Copies of this chain bind each other. A is one copy, B any other.
Amino acid sequence: MRVEVIAIGDELLIGQTINTNASWIGSVMAEAGGTVQYATVIQDKEDAILYAIEHALSRVDLVIVTGGLGPTKDDITKHTLCKFFDTSLEINEEILTHVRSFFAKRGREMLDVNIQQAAMPMGARILKNNQGTASGMLFERDGKLLVSLPGVPYEMKHLLRDRLLPILEERFEMESIYHQTIYAQGIGESYLAERIKDIEDEVRGEGIGLAYLPSPGIVRLRLTSERTEHNKKRIDHFLTQISDRLPMYVFGREAGLAKVVGELLKGKQKTLGTAESCTAGSLSSEIVKVSGASEFFYGSFVTYTNKLKQHLLDVREEDLKAVGAVSEEVVKQMAANGRVKLGVDYCLALSGIAGPNGGSIEKPVGTIWIALASKDKVITKQFLFGDQRDRNIRVSVLTALNMLRCELLEINYEKSV
C-alpha cells in the first residue's frame, strides 16, 4: 500500500510547528506494512489543497490529510474536501450528541463554533473522535482512499490507530518491507562505519540496505530488505554481530536509552539519583520519561550555583576555588555525596560548560565532566562535545546514561567520539 501524507498549515511551512505528525504516521504505516512514499506540507489555501490531493490520488493508494479541522474560522479543510468530492455538509446527529457530551463531561460551556464540528460531508465515512470534537472523514474515489484527520497529534493518533487502521487492514494487501534498527551511543557515524566495514560489505553483498542515521549523541543503523523469512534471519544475524562487536556503544534495537537503563536497574533491584549542574534536571527528567520510573528513581539535586554545590552536596569550597566547578574533583564529590544524601545505589553527576558563554582556553565550551558513584567507587570521565548549548546538554545526558548502562552490564566503558 503506497501512502502519501499531506499536512496542511502555514504554521508548518513557516516553521512555527514541527511536523511530528508525518513522522509518527510514517512509523505506524511502516509497522502496518504500508509505505509512506511522500510526505508533503502545503499552505492552507483552497487551491493548494485541491492541487495536492489531486496529485496525491494520482500516485498512491491512500492519502492521509492532517490539519485544518479545528473549530475556528481559519480551518478550511472540511469545506475544501466537500468541493473536491462534490458534496456538502450536514449536521450529523450522532456526532452532535458526542460533541455535546464531550463538553458536558469536562464542565465546559459549548460554543456555537463547536456545533459546526458536527457538520459532516454527506457520503463520507465518519471516524468518531473520542479524544476531541473534530471527527475524521474517509472518502473514496476510483478505489483509492483519502482520509482527513485533525492536526492535534493525540487526536490524529487516536483516529488513525483506532479507526483507520482496522479499515485499511480489511481493504489493502499490505506490502512487505522489513527493517530493523540498532541504536548506538558515544560513537560517530564514520567511526562506526569504519569499525564494521567488513560486516557492511557482507550486508550489501546480500542485497540488504544499510543506512546510518545520526542525531545528537545517537547513531542509528538501519537494515532494510524485502520481508522474507530468510532476510529476517540474516538481518537479525548481522545486527547481533554488530552489537556483539561494539557492546559499549550499541544499546539496543529501540530508541530510549533511559528505558534500557531503567530495565537494567529494575532487573538488579538497584536505585538511581542524579546531581546535576549544567544539565539542570535534563538527566532526571529524561529518566522519568519512562512510566514506572518511580520503581528505581528516587530524586536529584540540581545545583546550578557553587554555593548550592557546597550547601546541598558538601562539595569542598577549597576545591571549587582551586579547580572550579567544572573539574574532576567537584563532579566526583557531587556524585559520591549525592549518592549518600539521596540514599541510592548509583548517582550520576554532571558539571560542564554548556555554552555559548562561559568557556576559557583551558575549559572551552563543551567541556563536560561526568561521574558515576556506586557503593565501591566513583568513575569519572571528561568529554569535549561542541559549541551548541542544547546539543551539549542532550549529548551529556545520553553519555551519562550510557556510562551507567556499561557499568550495570560490566562493560569496560571506552571513551570515544
| Complex contacts, A181 vs chain B, CB 8 Å | 16
Chain B residue nearest to A19 (CB atoms) is B19
The A interface is mostly helix, strand or loop, or mixed, namely mixed
| Pair B299/A312 contact, Cβ less than 8 Å | yes
As for how many copies of this chain the complex holds, the number is 2
| Pair B291/A280 contact, Cβ less than 8 Å | no
A100 part of interface (Cβ distance < 8 Å): no
Tell me the A26-45 residues at the B interface (CB within 8 Å).
26-30, 35-44
Given the complex of chains A and B, what is the CA–CA distance between A24 and B12 in angstroms? Answer: 10
| Pair B114/A190 contact, Cβ less than 8 Å | yes
| Complex contacts, A288 vs chain B, CB 8 Å | 280-281, 304, 354
| Pair B36/A22 contact, Cβ less than 8 Å | no
What mask results when residues 87 to 126 of chain A are scored 1 for a CB within 8 Å of chain B, else 0?
Answer: 0000000000000000000101001011000000000000
Given the complex of chains A and B, what is the CA–CA distance between A19 and B25 in angstroms? Answer: 13
| Pair A389/B74 contact, Cβ less than 8 Å | no
CB distance from A246 to the nearest CB of B (A): 16
A240 part of interface (Cβ distance < 8 Å): no
Given the complex of chains A and B, what is the CA–CA distance between A210 and B74 in angstroms? Answer: 7
Given the complex of chains A and B, what is the CA–CA distance between A217 and B216 in angstroms? Answer: 26
A80 part of interface (Cβ distance < 8 Å): no
| Pair A304/B312 contact, Cβ less than 8 Å | no
Cβ 8 A contact of A302, one of B73, B193, B284? B284
Other 13 A-B pairs with CB < 8 A, given A71-B189, A74-B212? A9-B213, A12-B23, A12-B26, A13-B39, A15-B23, A16-B181, A70-B212, A111-B193, A152-B214, A274-B281, A291-B389, A298-B304, A308-B343
Can you list 15 A-B contacts with CB-CB less than 8 angstroms, sorted by A residue number? A13-B35, A15-B23, A16-B213, A16-B255, A17-B23, A19-B39, A39-B40, A70-B214, A111-B194, A113-B193, A154-B391, A280-B284, A281-B282, A298-B308, A300-B302
